Amino acid sequence: MSDYVIETKQLTKVYGDQTAVNAVNLHVKKGQIYGLLGRNGAGKTTIMKMILGLTSITSGEANVFGKNIKGQEKRVYPRIGAIIETPGFYPNLTGTENLEIFARLRGTAAPNAVKNALEVVGLPYKDKKLFGKYSLGMKQRLGIANAILHDPELLILDEPTNGLDPIGIAEVRNFIKDLSASRGKTILISSHILSEIQLLADDIGIIDHGVLLEESSMSELEKKNRKYILLQVSDVPKAALILERQFQQKNYSVQDDHTLRLYDTSLDMGAVNKELVVQDVTVISSGLCNDTLEDYFKRITGGEGIA
Ligand SMILES: Nc1ncnc2c1ncn2[C@@H]1O[C@H](COP(=O)(O)OP(=O)(O)OP(=O)(O)O)[C@@H](O)[C@H]1O
Ligand SMILES: [Mg+2]
């Protein structure tokens, strides 16, 4: 049996002539938070819907808890909590009343299920406020409370912080982290905001135009950030010539009329600076830089970045 709570194999969804999800192999490990990062329309929701059996799979397969989901939906649902689209809460009932209805519908047995779920997301129990009067943040929280009512092992959360203010985002992030750290839940979460995934996820999958471009642990990805020396000079062509001829440097790039990036960070910059000055090239600045993760995404998605 596989070690993954979710594993997809060549998972594909075609709508008409558009391939919305293209041969995706996703690996979500037990007890980890997996962040699926991609721009609008990248295919995040479609992947989640296929994993949940909410939309048909064109080809490939989705395995949940080691079993192909196809035909097994009813057996695995009690073990999953999800928010894909906002659940249909009743506006004229309170949050507690809404959850009590969902708990009954699902046959949730635990007597304190509603109270516990509200506590996790920081909403008051037996509060008088009607759902219709809730702020967006409170609605989102109630949606998450609803997803964890039956204490599922696996949570699938599609952009749960959408529309929240920065404080709300931080709060939701904290209780999602807590669900993983102290309750051992496995969590698949999607977002189009890089910093959010970076702060939350153990593992990350980057999806673009339906293709999973990269899948790795967050720490591995952070190591990939390229280091380089940023060198600003008065005359880039002349500086490049000196670097090539006298310092055997080929691994560099020209950023603009005055800026070079040197990827050999072991280069003796004291000697380089001296030689440039001797040959009448003014050094405006030189220093070690680190590509941010955002730069990295821009590079691999070949576009303007994600966040
Ligand atoms: N029911 C549908 N019929 C036809 N095309 C669809 C349908 N649902 C999604 N798509 C298309 O599939 C692609 C992926 O959509 P999806 O909703 O999975 O993206 P997403 O990453 O969740 O985007 P967002 O960040 O906007 O939520 C999009 O191009 C979308 O237009
Ligand atoms: Mg979506």
The count of domains in the chain is 2
Q: What angle do CA 224, 225, 231 make, to 5 degrees?
A: 135
Q: Which percentage of the chain shows pLDDT scores above 90?
A: 68
Cα of 111 vs centre of ligand 1, distance in Å, is 39
pLDDT 10s digits, 199-238: 999 999 999 999 999 999 998 887 777 788 999 999 999 9
300, part of any domain: no
Residue 307 has pLDDT above 70, yes or no: no
Domain boundary among 173, 206, 223: 223
| pLDDT tier for residue 75 given thresholds of 50, 70 and 90 | confident
Q: What is the CATH number of the domain that holds 285?
A: 3.30.70
- Give the separation between CA 285 and CA 110, rounded to whole angstroms: 65
110 and 217 share one domain: yes
C-beta 46 within 6 A of ligand 1: yes
38 lines ligand 1 (CB under 6 A): yes
Question: Residue 161's Cα: distance from chain center in Å?
Answer: 12
pLDDT of residue 304: 56
Which position has the higher pLDDT, 307 or 2?
A: 2
In the listed set 223, 248, 280, which residue is the last one of a domain according to the structure? 223
| Helix-helix angle 113-121:136-148, to 10 degrees | 130
37 lines ligand 1 (CB under 6 A): no
| DSSP assignments along 234-248, one per residue | S-HHHHHHHHHHHH-
Which pLDDT score is estimated for 108? 74
Tell me the average pLDDT across 64-78.
88
pLDDT digits (tens, 9 = 90+) for 122-160: 899 999 999 999 988 888 899 999 999 999 999 999 999
Alpha-carbon distance values, 18 to 15, 161, 260, 300 (Å): 5, 28, 41, 22
Give the DSSP H/E element, type plus range, for residue 191: strand 186-191
Q: Are residues 165 and 263 in the same domain?
A: no
Question: Residue 43 and residue 25: Cα distance in Å, rounded?
Answer: 13
Specify whether 127 is located in the same domain as 36: yes
Q: Atom 8 of ligand 1 has which residue's CA nearest to it? A: 46
Residue 250 pLDDT: 93
CB 180, CB 187: distance < 8 Å = yes
* 164 and 93 belong to one structural domain: yes
Do 181 and 270 belong to one domain?
A: no
pLDDT of residue 303: 65
Query: Measuring from atom 30 of ligand 1, which residue has the nearest CA?
Result: 41
**Mean pLDDT, the chain, whole residue set:** 91
| Pocket of ligand 1 contains residue 31 by CB under 6 Å | no
**54 within some domain:** yes
Selection from 48, 68, 54 nearest residue 191 by Cα: 48
Q: How far is the CA of 140 from the centre of ligand 2 (A)?
A: 15
Ligand 1 pocket check for 44: Cβ under 6 Å: yes
Q: Are residues 157 and 247 in the same domain?
A: no
Distance CA 272, CA 246 (A): 9
Residue identifier of the C-alpha nearest atom 18 of ligand 1? 43
- Pair 191, 256 in one domain: no
- R_g over Cα of the chain: 25
- Give pLDDT tens digits for 91-117: 999 999 999 998 988 887 688 999 999
**Is 242 found in the same domain as 216?**
no
pLDDT at 221: 84
Measured CA distances, 168 to 88, 96, 161 (Å): 22, 20, 8
- Contact, 152 vs 183, CB < 8 A? no
- The residue to mutate among 15, 211, 213, having the most atoms of ligand 1 within 8 angstroms of its beta carbon, is 15
Task: Give domain status of residue 40, yes or no.
Answer: yes
> Where do we find the tokens 């949570």?
155
Q: Which ligand is nearest to the CA of 210?
A: 1
Does residue 304 belong to any structural domain of this protein? no
Q: Are 32 and 56 contained in the same domain?
A: yes
Closest Cα to atom 3, ligand 1: which residue? 15
Q: Domain limits at 273?
A: 227-290
Regarding whether 190 and 286 lie in a shared domain, the answer is no
Q: What is the pLDDT of residues 35-56, one digit of tens each?
A: 999 999 999 999 999 999 989 9
Under 8 Å between Cβ of 142 and 99: yes
305 falls within a domain: no
Distance 297 CA to ligand 1 centre (A): 21
> What interhelical angle do 136-148 and 95-106 show, nearest 10?
30
What pLDDT is stored for residue 300 in this prediction? Answer: 78
- Together in a domain, 129 and 262: no
